[in-house]
Amino acid sequence: MKNTFGCELTVTIFGESHGPCIGAVLDGLEPGIRVDDELIKRQLAHRRPSGVISTPRVERDEYSIVSGVFEGMTTGTPLTIIIPNTNTKSGDYERGLPRPGHADYTGYVKYKGFEDYRGGGHFSGRITAALVAAGAIVIGALGERGVRIGTHIKRCGGVDDRDFGELDRDIEALAESVFAVLDADAGECMKAAITDAARDGDSVGGVLETAVTGVPAGVGEPWFDSLEGMIAHAMFSVPAVKGIEFGRGFDICGLRGSEANDPLSYSGGAVITETNNNGGINGGISNGMPIIFRTAVKPTPSIFKPQRTVDLLTGEPTSLELKGRHDPAIVHRARVVADSVTALVIYDMMRVAGAIK
């Protein structure tokens, strides 16, 4: 199994949805980073379910850091975070009945039927709580270097949020936002669309848009370790992510080169681009402009409608009606996961580039 990501900073995840705990190990953090418990708790709260637009399964996420921190500061040795699972209902899941849209069947094939199938096991979005806790430490470290990361729900249920405006101000506002939108009216319409889907026993997906400011030029590698490639690699590791685009993304294909290119100029002695169609990255390397990308999050596959499936134990077709507690949408909870994963990649790539010693 490949559960470790990164080069100079690695993150390893472990645990299952209905196991005793989940967790993460960060290796490669510099010593002397202040570990902000309030920031970790805030980030975990943003991922936690809230109200009728989320699952009724609410975990307290009372994490423990059992290594790598002494007197509130990182030591430079591996940092291990453990989060107990305390609110499980394993009886809602049946062995051998793969849920459409989930990794139940592929997990069964890969692990030869020995996988923990309860709640999706190791494939569950529950594991992202460990990524969020680990990411919060790295977000704090990047913040001390002037790097800011923010994600909003760009689209959900057929409703669009406004575009980013003044980035640092918007990112600061999003850090405190429970339902991460830049236009409150759009947010209410999104919530209504999620509620309607839940009432129908169905679900909706959405698009997240992430902005990163303060990354210096020169971070990233050409070809196989490009900054886009490493961000995309990490983002596709998050359950339900099905697509990613940077800058103008697919829309840039409809422009002429004269429209798509970002002209260069000087501002205060620094090189800038006058537009940002390429999302702050050229040739796989940051150019010093804000890094902008959007991530597609599919509708939650757990829905309360009859679905066709197969019984892997008998080899017969059958139907499935889910029980249990499930989200009618996860895009609003996934936005803090996007922030966390982005932070892990940016910190790692900045260390590779020598921007962090």
3-state SS track over the chain:
CCCEEECCCEEEEEECCCCCEEEEEEECCCCCCECCHHHHHHHHHHHCCCHHHCCCCCCCCCCEEEECEECCEECCCCEEEEEECCCCCHHHCCCCCCCCCCCHHHHHHHCCCCCCCHHHHHHCHHHHHHHHHHHHHHHHHHHCCCCEEEEEEEEECCEECCCCCCHHHHHHHHHCCCCCCCCHHHHHHHHHHHHHHHHCCCCCCEEEEEEEECCCCCCCCCHHHCHHHHHHHHHCCCCCEEEEEECCHHHHHHCCHHHHCCCEEEECCEEEECCCCCCCEECCEECCCCEEEEEEECCCCCCCCCEEEEECCCCEEEEECCCCCCCCCCHHHHHHHHHHHHHHHHHHHHHHCCCCC
Amino acid type, 44: L
- Give the number of other Cβ atoms within 10 Å of residue 168's Cβ: 14
- Give the number of other Cβ atoms within 10 Å of residue 295's Cβ: 29
Both tokens assigned to 168: 């640092």
Predicted local confidence at residue 227, as pLDDT: 98
Calpha distance 134→81 (Å, rounded): 7
Residue range 4-352, CATH number: 3.60.150.10
Calpha distance 246→251 (Å, rounded): 10
Cβ–Cβ under 8 Å, residues 309 and 99: yes
Calpha distance 186→196 (Å, rounded): 15
Cβ–Cβ under 8 Å, residues 279 and 247: yes
Nearest 5°: phi and psi at 293? Answer: -150, 160
103-124 pLDDT, tens digit per residue, is 999 999 999 999 999 988 899 9
Please state the pTM of the whole predicted model.
0.95
Predicted local confidence at residue 307, as pLDDT: 94
Q: Give the chain's residues under pLDDT 70.
A: 1
Q: Tell me the β-bridge partners of 209.
A: 152, 294
Cβ–Cβ under 8 Å, residues 309 and 318: yes
Predicted local confidence at residue 259, as pLDDT: 97
Calpha distance 15→335 (Å, rounded): 22
